[in-house]
């Protein structure tokens, strides 16, 4: 089986709190489906976050911080598992 092996760079996106402008929003592990049924009308903004500075609570459509990988070079085609070399050595 063949794979493409690509070097990547990793970035973390922290959502800056729009209330205090200093803290960042951290996903609390809760979403609106684990809350009261009255709160399930919130559509896409279902993940509860809390500012790590002013403790403002905010709903968001995705979980932050978010890790994003970007390509950092050309891909290389590799085969895995590697085939034994056909150089005539005994396989054992
Ligand atoms: Zn804040």
C-alpha of residue 61 to centroid of ligand 1, in Å: 18
> What pTM, to 2 d.p., does this model score?
0.66
pLDDT of 19 over the 90 cut: yes
26 vs 39, residue with greater confidence: 26
Question: What is the rounded CA–CA span in Å between residue 68 and residue 23?
Answer: 20
Task: Name which of 19-23, 24-28, 44-48, 75-79 the model is least confident about.
Answer: 44-48
Radius of gyration of the chain (CA): 23
Which residues crowd ion ligand 1, with CB under 5 Å?
A: 17, 19-20, 23, 51, 53-54, 56
| Average pLDDT value over all residues in the chain | 87
DSSP β-ladder status, 47-51 and 66-71: unpaired
Mean pLDDT of the region 8-32: 95
C-alpha closest to that of 8 among 63, 77, 68, 78: 68
Q: Assess whether pLDDT exceeds 90 at residue 35.
A: no
């Amino acid at each position: 089986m063949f794979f493409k092996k690509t070097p990547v760079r990793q970035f973390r996106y922290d959502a800056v709190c729009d209330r205090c402008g200093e803290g960042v929003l951290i996903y609390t592990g809760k979403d609106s489906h684990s809350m009261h049924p009255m709160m399930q009308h919130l559509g896409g903004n279902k993940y509860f976050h809390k500012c790590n500075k002013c403790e403002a609570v905010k709903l968001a459509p995705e979980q932050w911080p978010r890790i994003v990988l970007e390509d950092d070079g050309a891909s290389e085609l590799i085969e895995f598992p590697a085939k034994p070399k056909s150089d005539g050595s005994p396989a054992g």
